Copies of this chain bind each other. A is one copy, B any other.
Amino acid sequence: MRPVSIHTGAWRYPGAFPDANFSFGHLRDFARRLEAAKFDAFFMADHLAVLNMPVDALKRSHTVTSFEPFTLLSALAGATERIGLVATASTTFDEPYHIARRFASLDHISAGRAGWNIVTTANPDAALNFGYESQMDHDARYVRAREFYDVVTGLWDSFADDAFVRDVDKGIYFDPARMHVLDHKGPSLSVRGPLNIARPVQGWPVIVQAGSSEPGRQLAAETAEVIFAATGSLEIGKRFYADIKQRMHKIGRDPGSLKILPAAFVVVGDTMEQARERRALLDGLVHYESGIGSLNSMLDYDVSGFDPDGPLPEIPETNAGKSQRERLVDLARAGNLTIRQLAQKAGSYAGLAFVGTPASIADEMEQWLVEEGSDGFNVMFPWLPGGLDDFVDRVVPELQRRGIFRKEYEGSTLRDHLGLARPANRFFEDGQK
C-alpha cells in the first residue's frame, strides 16, 4: 500500500474511496480482508517528504500524504490477529536505538508479526526536512545502512530469551548475566545499549529490503529475509532471482532463508478484454501534468523541457534511488516510447502487472513460482476497495484451488507465514524460546 494504491489515478476510479489513505476505518477494513484471505503481511511503503514534483503534478495525486507507516501498522496490530505488519523505516534519517525499540515493541504487541523494510531514502527532498542541505551520497547511504543493521540487530539481542525470570518471591525481575551491553563504536554510529525491552518474539522482526542497485543487492544478499523486487518481466525477474541466490551462496547463506517477492500490480476482469478495459480506464484518469511529475520524480531529472513527443534524452546518474530510473530508461529504449508515453506509464504504473481473468493471473503467478522468477508477490491493488475485493474474492480461491497458496495460517508469527527460521541470539548460545 502506498498509501493505498501506487497508481495516481486510483482515487478517481468509479467506486473507489477518494479518501482511503486518510481513513483508518478503511485501512483497517482492508487489512482485515487481507487477513481473512490469509495474506502473509500488510505492507506500507513510505516517503519522508512530500514527493519532489511540481505542484501542478502534486495536486492531482492522492500520494501526496499518508499516515506515517509505523503509526498505522501499530494501530493495525491492535485491530488484527494474524496478518504480518511490515513498515518502512529509514537508516539515513533515523536513529538505530529508536528503530530497534519500535520494531521490538511492535513485534511484542503484535505477538510476533513485525517486519522492517530497510530503506536508505531515495527522495532527495527528504534531506531538507532533517537538517541537511543535500542528500548523502548513494554508496555512503548503503555503508551506513549496513552498520545501522548491525546495531539494530545487536540491540535486539540485548537480552537472552530467558533473561526475564520475574521471581516474585526473591524479588529478581531479570538475570543481569543474561543482559548484553552492545557498546558499539563504528564509523557512522555510536550506540551503547542495552535496549530497554525484551528480545522480540520473533528474535528479530523480519528484515525486508527493496534496493536493486549493486550495493542494494549485496546488502540484501547479506542481510535481507524478504526482497520486494521491482522486476518488470519474468526474464528480468529470473535474472534477478538467480543473481541474489548466487550472492547468498557465495557468502554461505542458505538461499531458502530469503524470499524474493516482486511487486505485482493486479487488475482482475471477467474476461481479458474487461480487465484491459479497466486498466485503460484507470490509466486514463492520470492527467499529463501528473504523469510528467511522476516521471521527473522517478528519474530524479526534469525532462519537461524536452519535446513531449520526442524520445527520452540521456539521463545522468544522480544520488537518488537507481532502480526506478534504470527500469524506466530500459522501458523507454525497449519500446521506443516518447516522453509523453513514458509519462503516462510513470503516472499510472510502469512495472510488472498481471491484467486478466482469475485463471490467467493465477497462471502467470504460477509460472513465476515454477520458473524461479520469485517466491511469491508483493501484490499491489489498482484501486480500493474494488481492486482489492476482486483479487481476494476471485484470484485467491483460484490460487488455493491449485495448492499454491494456503487456506489457513499454519503458524502465528510472520516468520511462520514466510517459512523463515527464528534467528539465534549472537550473544547467548542458550536461552532460545
Contacts and interface: CB of A to CB of B under 8 A. Distances in A.
A232 interface: no
How many copies make up the complex? 2
Interface stretch (A171-179, A271-279, A357-365): A171-179
A150 interface: no
Interface in A32-62: 47-50, 55-56, 58-62
A60 B105 contact: no
A12 B102 contact: no
Given A75-B77, A168-B12, A192 B125 contact: yes
Nearest to A74: B74
B93 A95 contact: yes
Interface in A163-200: 164, 166, 168, 171-176, 179, 189-194, 196-198
Interface in A118-175: 125, 128-133, 164, 166, 168, 171-175
B192 A67 contact: no
B131 A189 contact: yes
B22 A108 contact: yes
B109 A12 contact: no
B70 A172 contact: no
A101 B55 CA distance: 21
A285 B175 CA distance: 18
A171 B287 contact: yes
Nearest to A197: B65
Nearest to A166: B18
Interface residues of A, number: 75
A59 B174 contact: yes
A265 interface: no
B193 A129 contact: yes
A68 interface: yes
Contacts of A174: 59, 64
B71 A106 contact: yes
B59 A11 contact: no
A298 interface: no
A66 B197 contact: yes
Listed residue (A108, A168, A173) with the most chain B CB atoms within 10 angstroms of its CB: A173
B22 A190 contact: no
A410 interface: no
A136 to B, nearest CB: 15
Contact of A105 (B71, B102, B129): B71
Interface in A59-93: 59-62, 64-68, 70-72, 74-79, 93
14 contacts: A11-B168, A24-B77, A28-B78, A48-B97, A58-B176, A66-B196, A67-B105, A68-B101, A70-B74, A71-B106, A72-B105, A93-B98, A128-B190, A133-B190
Given A11-B173, A68-B98, A131-B191, 19 more contacts: A12-B171, A18-B168, A24-B77, A47-B196, A49-B192, A55-B176, A55-B179, A65-B197, A70-B74, A71-B106, A72-B109, A74-B74, A74-B75, A74-B77, A129-B191, A129-B193, A130-B191, A133-B190, A171-B285
Interface of A: 11-12, 18-19, 22, 24, 28, 47-50, 55-56, 58-62, 64-68, 70-72, 74-79, 93-95, 97-98, 101-102, 104-106, 108-111, 125, 128-133, 164, 166, 168, 171-176, 179, 189-194, 196-198, 285, 287, 290
Please give me the 10 A-B residue pairs with the lowest Cβ-Cβ distance, nearest first. Answer: A78-B78, A74-B74, A71-B105, A78-B79, A75-B78, A128-B192, A68-B105, A24-B109, A97-B129, A67-B105
